[in-house]
């Protein structure tokens, strides 16, 4: 009997060799931008939704922009897989956008009851606008690397590095190009010489400009990648409302949007803050019964301190006072005009950013102030509603809705010179 070393050196059976030589080559994978079930389940968990086949189908709808289906319809050669094609997120995004605006508006209007209308609108945009939606979307793992990564196989841009891809017109064009060059992309990763990279970027810019010009000629509105991601995030909020109700949707918006720290003072840019402050003070005195023409509403600037007036770096401290001697605010600067300007800005911010949820805020005279809010919006007007407004075609009135007392918003636009 042959030894072990002799048997190891013998030629392997011909059957094994024949099976190796006759094995079929692996074909190029079919491009698909539909996330796998594991990715959809993970996304559902991040959205506080219970993973299920129905929820996965709804998530695919949220990740499908209307421009994707429109591009697929126009492409006569597109091989549309109806098992992967769903409705667009247009309806859910509209519902989600309304809910996000509602939650942000009631939160900021209750938190800062004296904030003017335009400043309130700017604050709402800063918290829940398109840029904020894109940031939240990337935190959720949606389109992490931007619009250039279509997630198609064999192009050096894998779907794993792209995150959960949103399907829109650009991805539909990428699928079309993949079908036209089928098999060529699998030969290897894209190799671009260093000296030609800038030409590639210029060519892409020219193609984008040509596409925009063509879209304008057709009368269509060009969608940017940020707008597409924002619509997907808004549709997530609409889906949460559809599946779990308004309270879960409000919790999601407060946890992901309104929990961020923003410098709202940077949203206010005034050319003549002292004039605006005078109008605001007159408006508050008029609400208390003091005539706007009274001398008690006149603001008097006073120089409180100064140093280095004969040097190259002087410093002045100016305070703004009422005739009764009450100091409104103060500010510093290298000149008296700059110090007075900063004092007026500080005075406006001290009024506009007065918080309505702090104890003792009821002395401001607005009904409902001084009540603390919950971390996720408990105590705000939307918390008094039931989870769903309609049930079997009828409007539902919650038990707390009839007894709820909201805060009267005191903010309004004060036009300089109007004193109203």
d(CA 361, CA 373): 13
Residue 309: CATH number of its domain: 3.30.160.20
- 256 and 290 together in one domain: no
Residue 335 belongs to a domain? yes
Domain's final residue, options 228, 248, 264: 264
Residue 4 belongs to a domain? no
Q: What angle do CA 234, 237, 243 make, to 5 degrees?
A: 140
Give 168-182 pLDDT, tens digit per residue: 877 666 666 655 665
Task: Show the domain range for 317.
Answer: 270-353
Residue 209 belongs to a domain? yes
- 171 and 318 together in one domain: no
d(CA 351, CA 348): 5
Give 221-277 pLDDT, tens digit per residue: 567 888 999 999 999 999 999 999 999 999 999 999 999 999 988 888 888 999 999
d(CA 34, CA 63): 9
Domain's final residue, options 239, 264, 289: 264
Give 119-155 pLDDT, tens digit per residue: 899 999 999 999 999 999 999 998 776 544 455 544 4
- 151 and 173 together in one domain: yes
Contact, 314 vs 225, CB < 8 A? no
Helical segments of 79-224, H only: 90-111, 117-128, 130-139, 159-162, 169-180, 197-218
Burial class (CB in 10 A: 0-12, 13-18, 19+), 332: middle
Contact, 7 vs 18, CB < 8 A? no
Number of independent structural domains in the chain: 2
Spatial CB neighbours of 106, under 8 Å, sequence gap ≥ 6: 377, 380, 381, 382
User: Whole-model pTM?
Assistant: 0.75
Please give the helix or strand (H or E) that residue 314 lies within, else none: none
Helical segments of 219-304, H only: 225-244, 246-256, 273-287
Residue 234: CATH number of its domain: 1.10.1520.10
d(CA 253, CA 376): 8
- 158 and 99 together in one domain: yes
């Amino acid at each position: 009997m042959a030894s072990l070393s002799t048997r190891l050196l013998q030629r392997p059976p011909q059957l094994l060799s024949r099976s190796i030589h006759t094995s079929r080559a692996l074909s190029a994978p079919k491009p698909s931008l539909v996330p796998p079930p594991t990715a959809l389940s993970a996304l559902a968990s991040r959205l506080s939704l219970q993973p299920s086949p129905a929820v996965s189908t709804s998530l695919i709808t949220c990740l499908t922009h209307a421009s994707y289906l429109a591009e697929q319809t126009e492409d006569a050669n597109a091989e549309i897989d109806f098992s992967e094609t769903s409705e667009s997120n247009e309806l859910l995004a509209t519902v989600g956008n309304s809910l996000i605006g509602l939650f942000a508006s009631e939160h900021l209007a209750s938190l800062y009851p004296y904030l003017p209308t335009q400043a309130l609108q700017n604050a709402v945009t800063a918290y829940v606008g398109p840029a904020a939606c894109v940031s939240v979307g990337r935190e959720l793992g949606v389109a992490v690397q931007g619009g250039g990564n279509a997630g198609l196989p064999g192009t050096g841009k894998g779907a794993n590095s792209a995150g959960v891809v949103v399907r829109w017109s650009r991805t539909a064009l990428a699928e079309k190009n993949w079908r036209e060059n089928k098999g060529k992309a699998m030969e290897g990763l894209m190799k671009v010489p260093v000296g030609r990279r800038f030409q590639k970027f210029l060519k892409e810019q020219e193609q984008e400009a040509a596409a925009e010009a063509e879209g304008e000629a057709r009368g269509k509105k060009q969608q940017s990648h940020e707008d597409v991601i924002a619509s997907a995030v808004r549709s997530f909020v609409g889906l949460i409302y559809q599946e779990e109700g308004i309270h879960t949707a409000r919790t999601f918006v407060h946890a992901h949007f309104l929990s961020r720290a923003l410098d709202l003072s940077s949203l206010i840019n005034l050319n003549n803050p002292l004039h605006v402050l005078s109008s605001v003070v007159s408006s508050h005195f008029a609400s208390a019964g003091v005539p706007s023409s009274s001398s008690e509403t006149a603001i008097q600037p006073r120089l409180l301190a100064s140093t280095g007036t004969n040097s190259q770096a002087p410093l002045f401290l100016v305070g703004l006072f009422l005739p009764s001697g009450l100091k409104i605010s103060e500010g510093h600067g290298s000149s008296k005009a700059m110090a007075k300007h900063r004092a007026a800005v500080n005075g406006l911010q001290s009024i506009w950013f007065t918080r309505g949820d702090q104890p003792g805020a009821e002395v401001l005279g607005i009904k409902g102030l001084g009540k603390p809010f919950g971390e996720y919006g408990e105590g705000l007007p939307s918390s008094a509603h039931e989870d769903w407004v309609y049930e079997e075609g009828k409007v539902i009135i919650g038990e707390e809705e009839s007894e709820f007392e909201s805060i009267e918003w005191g903010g309004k636009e004060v036009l300089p010179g109007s004193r109203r």
